[in-house]
Amino acid sequence: MTSPIKLKAALVPVLMVVVGLVWAVLYYRSVATDPRQDEAALSLIGPLIWVLVPLGVLTAAQAVFAALGGSADETHGLDNRKRLIYLAALACLLAALPWLGLLGAGLPFFALLAYLLGFRRILWLILLTAGLGVLIWGGFAGLLDISLPLYPGQRP
Amino acid sequence: MIDGAQMAEGLGLLLNWHMPLVILAGMTLGLIIGVIPGMTAALGLAIVLPLTFSMDALTALILMTSVYTGSLTGGGVLAILINTPGTPGAVATTFDGYPMAKAGQANEALGLQIAASAFGGAASYLVLLLFIEPMTDFALEFQSAEMLALVIFVLVAVGVLRGRHLLRSLFAGAVGLMLSTIGTVLTTGEPRGTLGFAELEDGLPIVLCVIGLFAVPELIQILPRKTISEAEARIQHSLAALWGGFKGAFRRWPTLLRGSGIGIAVGILPAAGATLASILSYTLATRLARAGDRFGKGEPKGVVAAESANNASEGGAMAILLALGIPGSASTAVILGGFMLHGLVPGTGLFRDNGPLVYGLIIGNIFQMVLLIGAALAVAYAVARIVTVPTTILVPFLTILLSVGAFSFRGQLFDVFVVFAFGIIGWFCRRYDFTPLSLMIGLFLGSQLDQEMLRVSILYSYEPWTILERPIATTFFALTLVLIVVRIVLWVRRATTQSGEGRA
């Protein structure tokens, strides 16, 4: 195995460390330079940033060395078609929820995702979707009296 | 040791017509979750948590602990029937349970498993009931320095015991601590790290973060499977054999008692949990084997040892949760969320201010173990149908249920985004061994640690080494050091062995 191929195994862990570190440093800086904050605001995050940065560097280095040594895990990212479909559908659901409400977005999400994942018994799908609608509308909103944005444009 | 008046009051709280129904419902859900491979108690608890919004605190906690108990027991059912542990804690049950099933003794094995689980669970809560006062006294010794030392110890312990990569685990814990400080600073009243989101001024909704961290990765993980269990359990039902196995567990009482003791002791350790307890108990049982014992080939003592420790770890984990507010596992973390949701903060204050509730919860859990027997027998019978739920339906259904639950938490759509954002983070953490449990413990303990750091820096600012004059804090610092040293020694030894093998 050549080094670039070996290093691929360390890519995601290193990226995760970098994202974590960048966020942590920016967060620390925003608090440290904020004139409205006092020393108490830094009582934990001050010492923590000094722990987190070397820890992150060591973690990333360990991931790289493990990959070069060939002992990195043979795990891959979102390597399954169903998982990608799920994440894409989830993104659509989250985008639609504020506009269409829980019933308006949730029921099509349920039916379409089940179909795309491979569920082909249409009659059952219609019945289950209706059952889910009844559960949300009758069970959560009705019986448990939870204020939910059920329909398009509705605000709880 | 037991406060009679508070216990009587706690018992009074339990004497409610709906309590047995709540226990049965929670237990059944937990058993179903437990028998489904890949689905953990944490997911079941995450589903139930939003339903507890409108309940009183004791009913809500009894429901959640019922789910927890049920899932620990249910995990052993499939371990016996198809060699697939429904929960990680049931791994050791497969060692002798499945060979028994293959030899036509599935009913006996299930009887052994259910009896050992119920006994282990009941014993652990009985110990908790008897020693609740000393535990409270011990918890009262915990002040700022002790809490600081304990939090550091817990994070390192999780990394050493649970994570395959200590550094990644510690990094996740440190990021969790950092995330937990988002929100308004108490001393200035000004927000920090909110990125302009007003919803974050009260801090991240920790309960929802935990739900996302553990439930969503579970859903993503099971997606490639057609059904949740790809092999259907087949069993010839025999009530007589089941009962025979049930009685057989009590004939092996030394193993039963030993397993329960190990479970309680290991359960108290943060992050060790049911898996370590059951494996330790099974290992000890094999070391103490007599001539004629057939460990690994269908020895009933093996099932008893594994399952009694598996369920007994629950009482230990609850003890540390109630006394110190430390969640030892993902499941107890969600239960901790349940406490917080109902305005209860586990730790010294819980015993002082809500004694009857604590007693009610413990007695309710002992009562659960009696009901567990009936519910577990029923689920063991029905299990073959349950495991064939297609993931194509289950995953979309649970996703919608999580969305409804997240929204109903504070009535904000923002929270739905938080759940799924932490779900994606949790999936990557799990996939690349950044130990989601460490991230979660950081999230839970961070805000408390923030305050403790401030107090410690004020109290010990001139002489920080005086912290080491406090025996409990020093003990935890020493234990932390021991854990790190042991980890390094093991790592060096493994590296030396590997390089030796490489040269050979």
Residue A63: closest CA among chain B residues belongs to which residue?
Answer: B168
Which residues in chain B are closer than 8 Å to A17, comparing Cβ atoms? 171
pLDDT, chain B, mean: 80
pLDDT tens column, B429-454: 988 888 887 887 788 778 777 877 77
What DSSP line would sit under A143-156, residue for residue? Answer: IS------STT---
Does residue B497 sit at the A interface (CB-CB below 8 Å)?
no
CA distance A49 to A33: 15
Q: What pLDDT shows up at residue A27?
A: 94
User: Mean pLDDT over residues B321-341, rounded?
Assistant: 79
What percent of chain B clears pLDDT 90, i.e. is strictly above it? Answer: 8
Q: What pLDDT shows up at residue B70?
A: 86
CB contact set of B383 (below 8 Å; sequence gap of 6+)? B35, B77, B78, B81, B233
* Rounded alpha-carbon distances, angstroms, from residue A143 to A146, B30, B45, B61, B476: 8, 23, 20, 21, 49
Identify the residue with better confidence: B116 or B42. B116
User: Mean pLDDT over residues B318-343, rounded?
Assistant: 79
A59: nearest CB among B168, B186, B416 = B168
Model confidence at A148: pLDDT above 60? yes
Q: Which of B432, B443, B447, B484 to mutate to test the interface with A (most CBs of A within 10 A)?
A: B432
Model confidence at B140: pLDDT above 70? no
Q: Which two tokens stand for residue A51?
A: 């722990």
Which residues in chain A are closer than 8 Å to B167, comparing Cβ atoms? 55, 58-59, 62
Token pair 């020895």: residue? B299
CB contact set of B205 (below 8 Å; sequence gap of 6+)? B409, B410, B415, B418
Does residue B196 sit at the A interface (CB-CB below 8 Å)?
no
pLDDT tens column, A34-45: 888 888 888 888
Does residue B197 sit at the A interface (CB-CB below 8 Å)?
no
- pLDDT category of residue A123 using cuts at 50, 70 and 90: very high
Model confidence at B345: pLDDT above 60? yes
- pLDDT category of residue B139 using cuts at 50, 70 and 90: low
Q: What pLDDT shows up at residue B417?
A: 93
Does residue B187 sit at the A interface (CB-CB below 8 Å)?
yes
What amino acid is encoded at B13 in this protein? L
User: Mean pLDDT over residues A19-46, rounded?
Assistant: 90
CA distance B230 to B304: 27
Q: Which of B152, B179, B181 to mutate to test the interface with A (most CBs of A within 10 A)?
A: B181
Q: Which helix (H) or strand (E) holds A84?
A: helix A81-117
CA distance B442 to B155: 8
| Closest CA of chain B from A39, distance in Å | 9
Does residue B395 sit at the A interface (CB-CB below 8 Å)?
yes
Helix ranges restricted to H, B325-433: 330-341, 348-353, 355-386, 391-410, 413-431
Identify the residue with better confidence: B47 or B20. B20
- The CA-to-CA distance between both ends of chain A, in Å, stands at 57
Model confidence at B130: pLDDT above 90? no
Q: What pLDDT shows up at residue B332?
A: 80
- SS3 (DSSP) at B183: strand
Residue A20: closest CA among chain B residues belongs to which residue?
Answer: B175
CA distance B287 to B128: 28
Q: What pLDDT shows up at residue B227?
A: 67
Q: Which helix (H) or strand (E) holds B102?
A: helix B91-102
- Tell whether ipTM is more than 0.85: yes
Q: What pLDDT shows up at residue B40?
A: 65
Q: What pLDDT shows up at residue B357?
A: 87
pLDDT tens column, B240-266: 888 888 888 899 999 999 999 888 877
- pLDDT category of residue B234 using cuts at 50, 70 and 90: low
Q: Tell me the whole-structure pTM to 2 decimals.
A: 0.71
Which residues in chain A are closer than 8 Å to B54, comparing Cβ atoms? 144-145
Answer whether B220 sits within 8 Å of A83, measured CB to CB. Answer: yes
* Rounded alpha-carbon distances, angstroms, from residue B374 to B35, B108, B362, B395, B485: 16, 16, 20, 29, 47
Answer whether B187 sits within 8 Å of A12, measured CB to CB. Answer: no
Model confidence at B231: pLDDT above 60? no
pLDDT, chain A, mean: 85
Which residues in chain B are closer than 8 Å to A49, comparing Cβ atoms? 178
Strands (E), B4-104: none
What percent of chain A clears pLDDT 70, i.e. is strictly above it? Answer: 85
Lowest mean pLDDT among A18-32, A125-139, B279-293, B413-427: B279-293
Number of A:B CB contacts under 8 A?
A: 166
Answer whether B408 sits within 8 Å of A40, measured CB to CB. Answer: no
CB contact set of A115 (below 8 Å; sequence gap of 6+)? A125
Residue A119: closest CA among chain B residues belongs to which residue?
Answer: B392
Answer whether A52 sits within 8 Å of B190, measured CB to CB. Answer: no
pLDDT tens column, B295-314: 888 899 999 999 999 888 87
Lowest mean pLDDT among A52-56, B155-159, B276-280, B462-466: B462-466
Question: CA gyration radius for chain A?
Answer: 24
Which range scores top for mean pLDDT: A67-71, B76-80, B113-117, B486-490? Answer: B113-117
Residue B165: closest CA among chain A residues belongs to which residue?
Answer: A59
Answer whether A30 sits within 8 Å of B393, measured CB to CB. Answer: no
B192: nearest CB among A41, A80, A94 = A41
Identify the residue with better confidence: A126 or B280. A126
Answer whether A114 sits within 8 Å of B393, measured CB to CB. Answer: yes
Q: What pLDDT shows up at residue B464?
A: 61
DSSP state of B52: G
Which residues in chain A are closer than 8 Å to B403, comparing Cβ atoms? 93, 97, 102, 106
Answer whether A93 sits within 8 Å of B403, measured CB to CB. Answer: yes
Identify the residue with better confidence: B175 or B29. B175
Residue A144: closest CA among chain B residues belongs to which residue?
Answer: B54
- pLDDT category of residue B233 using cuts at 50, 70 and 90: very low
B392: nearest CB among A51, A80, A117 = A117
Are the CB atoms for B2 and B131 separated by under 8 Å?
no
Strands (E), B175-294: 183-184, 191-192
User: Mean pLDDT over residues B353-369, rounded?
Assistant: 86
Which residues in chain B are closer than 8 Å to A41, comparing Cβ atoms? 185, 187-188, 190, 192
Answer whether A59 sits within 8 Å of B391, measured CB to CB. Answer: no
Answer whether A146 sits within 8 Å of B53, measured CB to CB. Answer: yes
Which range scores top for mean pLDDT: B129-138, B237-246, B321-330, B477-486? Answer: B477-486
Which residues in chain B are closer than 8 Å to A98, comparing Cβ atoms? 413
Does residue B459 sit at the A interface (CB-CB below 8 Å)?
no
Which residues in chain A are closer than 8 Å to B187, comparing Cβ atoms? 38, 40-41
- pLDDT category of residue B211 using cuts at 50, 70 and 90: confident
Q: What pLDDT shows up at residue B186?
A: 78
What DSSP line would sit under B104-171, residue for residue? Answer: T-HHHHHHHHHHHHHHHHHHHHHHHHHTHHHHHHHHHT--HHHHHHHHHHHHHHHHHHT-S-HHHHHH
User: Mean pLDDT over residues B318-333, rounded?
Assistant: 76
User: Mean pLDDT over residues A146-153, rounded?
Assistant: 79
